[in-house]
Homo-oligomer: A and B are copies of this chain.
Amino acid sequence: MRVLRVALAQINVTVGDLTGNAAKIAAWTERARSQSADVVCFPELAITGYPPEDLLLRPSFIDDNLEALNEVAKATRDITSVVGFVDRNDDIYNAAAVIHDGRVAGVYHKRFLPNYGVFDENRYFQEGSEAPVFEIAGALAGVNVCEDIWYQGGPVQEQAHGGAEVILNINGSPYHRAKHDFRERMVATRASDNAVFVAYVNMAGGQDELVFDGGSMIFGPDGELLARAALFDEELLIADLSLDAVYQYRLHDPRRRKERQEFQRRDGAPRILVSTEAPPERAPAQSRIAPPLDPVEEVYRALVLGTGDYLRKTGFEKALVGLSGGIDSTMVACVAVDAMGADHVVGVSMPSRYSSEGSIADAKRVADNLGIELLIVPIEPAHAAYVDMLRRPLESETGVWEENVQARIRGNVLMALSNRFGWILLTTGNKSEYAVGYTTLYGDMAGGYAVLKDVPKTLVYELARWKNRSAGREIVPESVIEKPPSAELRPGQLDTDSLPPYPVLDPILEAYVEDDRSAEEIVAMGYDEATVRRVMAMVDRAEYKRRQSPPGVKITPRAFGRDRRLPMANRYPN
């Protein structure tokens, strides 16, 4: 019985850290070797980190990445490894190197280059044209990269027709809500459609606005899940694949046999010998199937990993959060504490003449519940100074400008702390506010990372309730959850003075922003036409503000930023 022991190295790499990434790959290769794996697979572009973006335009970056791959190859003994890197050969390719005993035995070039959503791969890479099958420790393995597995007629099928018993698919696949379930279903289908094992390895870690959620997995040729790694954590996932199972499914399917014959006659797949070693005597591998996560916990974990990795990878040790006593800043503080630890988070309460006693008390309670330091900086002196300075040039005592001035005083106080101590300021706005522009540029939009930027307000509430449930005690005070949302920039102000209630607003926003629905279609979903048109106009008008917003974790199918590229000067619909 032929068995291939596959290890999937679900690692967290950093864009541009070529030497650090190479060292990590070498260390994890050694871990897999010590567990007698025949082959260990690393994520897409593991050498460079993903996505390297315009670093790819620098010839020196490509050189250094090749040098780093070479270092990895030199350190690889008694195991085969599959490592994502940038190949250069007339043009550059998003590639996978198949490495054995100190040398690169073969290379695969990604065939399907995503160029939608957050992806820009046509900007950089040439498409590959081949679908080689590698012979690894007596097994026939089709190696391919990420998007390649999303198409039935592509390299997966060609490699299966070309004899592959297992597909090794390496990924840099970013998270959004419920994507893992979708991925798992698709990969299972790909395995059973082609009667082939599929080992899918993803990276785990945050990079700017993206979170790579891990969840590496292995399926049998019947589409059965054999192993699954954790979501959001590094892990070495190992499984023994009984290769002969493939033929159970293949030999009894005359349609598949005919297709395969035709493929072999017409095209064939190149075959590359990597290693012939018989596997050593070894005890069976301990594989596992990690349990699924609660759907709200999944989002929370994405926020924690995305925020934490942004801070770690840009070199911040401490984060600053303006605590208003509202639910958004409370949840940002929760995420920050879970990402960095309570000693690395500082809350700042900045009461104004319009702040309610309740809100000030709530901010204190949140800081207490989380065990973080709380600074209190009343903003009245600056507030009074501005009103005095601006009364004449603004030809008015008060107005919306005075609300914005307060928000910007707070932004200035927080940035002064950030500049003085080198702490990053976390921004507290949520997706609903960013969508309609219910935020102040340079005020509450100030900061280095906007934790909730892609989290609709209604989901912020779900996160708060989940947080209390999972902690088994009150972290988010009930009063914070229950009070009506308010910016507290004038007496008695409520969000509903300016916006529809969030349970109405959020579905309209989802339909418009994420699903590209027209006004007619959204009205047909059961919403008031005037409200729908007003909300859509607010979204369009706020595009210029969002262009100046900090980055934040993508958790929906379409986030603001590179995922959604719209003109600022735009008269549609008109």
Chain A residues in contact with chain B, CB under 8 A? 14-20, 49, 51-55, 57-61, 64, 115-116, 120, 122-123, 206-208, 309-310, 313-314, 375, 377-379, 381-382, 384-386, 388-390, 393-396, 399-401, 404-405, 408-409, 411-413, 415-417, 419-420, 441-442, 446, 448, 516, 518, 520, 544, 547-551, 562, 564-574
Q: Are B448 and A566 in contact (CB under 8 A)?
A: no
Are the CB atoms of B381 and A385 closer together than 8 Å? yes
A57 contacts which chain B residues (CB < 8 A)?
516
Given A18-B574, A53-B567, A569-B310, decide whether A389 and B377 contact each other with a Cβ distance below 8 A. Answer: yes
A574 to B22, CA, bound (A): 12
Report Cα–Cα, A567/B417, bound state, in Å.
25
Q: Given the complex of chains A and B, what is the CA–CA distance between A552 and B173 in angstroms?
A: 33
Contact residues in B for A123 (Cβ distance below 8 Å): 115-116, 120, 565
A89→B325 CA distance, assembly (Å): 54
Contact present for A413 and B389 (CB under 8 Å): yes
Asked whether A51 lies within 8 Å of B567 as measured between CB atoms, the reply is: yes
Within the assembled complex, what's the spacing in Å between the Cα atoms of A573 and B59? 12
**Distance between A368 CB and nearest chain B CB, rounded to angstroms:** 19
Which of B122, B416, B516, B520 is within 8 Å of A394, CB to CB?
Answer: B416
A207 & B569 in contact (Cβ 8 Å cutoff): yes
Across-interface contacts of A415 in B (CB, < 8 A): 404, 408, 441-442
Q: CA separation between A57 and B17, bound complex, in Å?
A: 35
Contact status A419-B401, CB under 8 Å: yes
Residues of B within 8 A of A409 (CB): 412
Q: Once bound together, how far apart are the Cα atoms of A313 and B567, in whole Å?
A: 11
Interfacial chain B residues near A564, Cβ < 8 Å: 54
- What separation, in Å, do the CA atoms of A480 and B318 have in the docked complex? 42
How many copies of this chain are found per oligomer? 2
Distance A550 CA – B448 CA, assembled complex (angstroms): 16
Query: Are the C-beta atoms of B408 and A390 separated by less than 8 Å?
Result: no
| A339 CB to nearest chain B CB (Å) | 14
Complex: chain B residue closest to A113, CB-CB? B122
Check if A572 sits within 8 Å of B15, measured CB to CB.
yes
- Measured CA separation A19–B564 after assembly (Å): 24
Inter-chain contact B18/A313, CB cutoff 8 Å: no
Q: Are A382 and B378 in contact (CB under 8 A)?
A: no
Once the chains are docked, how many angstroms separate the CA of A550 from the CA of B379? 27
A115 to B572, CA, bound (A): 24
Within the complex, the shortest CB–CB distance from A282 to chain B, in Å, comes to: 37
22 contacts between A and B (CB under 8 A): A14-B569, A15-B569, A15-B570, A16-B572, A17-B574, A52-B567, A54-B566, A59-B518, A60-B520, A207-B569, A310-B568, A377-B389, A390-B413, A394-B417, A399-B420, A401-B420, A404-B415, A404-B419, A408-B408, A408-B415, A408-B442, A547-B550
Question: Which residues of B have CB within 8 Å of A60?
Answer: 518, 520, 573
- Which residues of chain B are within 8 angstroms of A49 by Cβ–Cβ distance? 567
CA distance A53 to B395 in the complex (A): 40
Give the Cβ gap from A509 to chain B, nearest Cβ, in Å.
Answer: 15
Q: Is the CB of B570 within 8 A of A55?
A: yes
A115 to B121, CA, bound (A): 9
The CA of A564 and the CA of B57, in the complex, are separated in Å by 10
